Amino acid sequence: MVERTSKFLLIVAVSVCFMLILYQYVGPGLSLGSPSGRSYLEELDLFPTPDPHYVKKYYFPVRELERELAFDMKGEDVIVFLHIQKTGGTTFGRHLVQNVRLEVPCDCRPGQKKCTCYRPNRRETWLFSRFSTGWSCGLHADWTELTNCVPGVLDRRESAAAKTPR
């Protein structure tokens, strides 16, 4: 009898803990009313008015943000991917070489971090990133290092590709 009672108490205790955890995670999403009398969506607005002490450092006009650029993969255009740490850059860079649907997909071999991304009509790269060319301009190169380094690296790769017999 004692064993049966202890099992029952254990089941009740686990059920209560489960319900508390469920209420904690699901409850805030439900509109059960709030003690302050305001709606839940009004309480989510943490900054209802702009901060008067905040000074805009960069101004981006709408036309600049909405501009469209034509990228000619079969021509001479190259995408230079600037990898910035702690911004999801690794995930996005890997996505560029593995998941984007292309006429000639990047060749990613198992066990290697680099993939070869050639143009559809010749053996030249269209993407300059850590996953396609490696750390050609140094570890976590910034904008200045990339603008100084990329043209030279691409010229060296093109001249090396021209020298090798096909």
* Helix or strand holding residue 14 (H, E): helix 2-26
Residue 114 exposed, middle or buried by CB count within 10 Å (0-12, 13-18, 19+): middle
Q: List residues with catalytic annotation.
A: 140
Contact in structure between 42 and 33 (CB atoms under 8 Å): no
Average pLDDT over residues 117-125: 86
Contact in structure between 137 and 150 (CB atoms under 8 Å): yes
Domain boundaries, the chain: 77-163
Per-residue pLDDT band at 35 (split at 50, 70, 90): low
pLDDT of 16 > 80? The answer is: yes
Residue 116 exposed, middle or buried by CB count within 10 Å (0-12, 13-18, 19+): middle
The three-class DSSP label of residue 105 is coil
The predicted pLDDT at position 15 comes to: 93
Name the average pLDDT for the chain.
Answer: 78
CA 164, CA 94: separation in Å to the nearest integer? 28
pTM: 0.53
pLDDT digits (tens, 9 = 90+) for 140-162: 777 888 888 888 888 887 776 66
Q: Mind giving me the DSSP string for 71-97?
A: --TTTT--EE----TTTTHHHHHHHHH
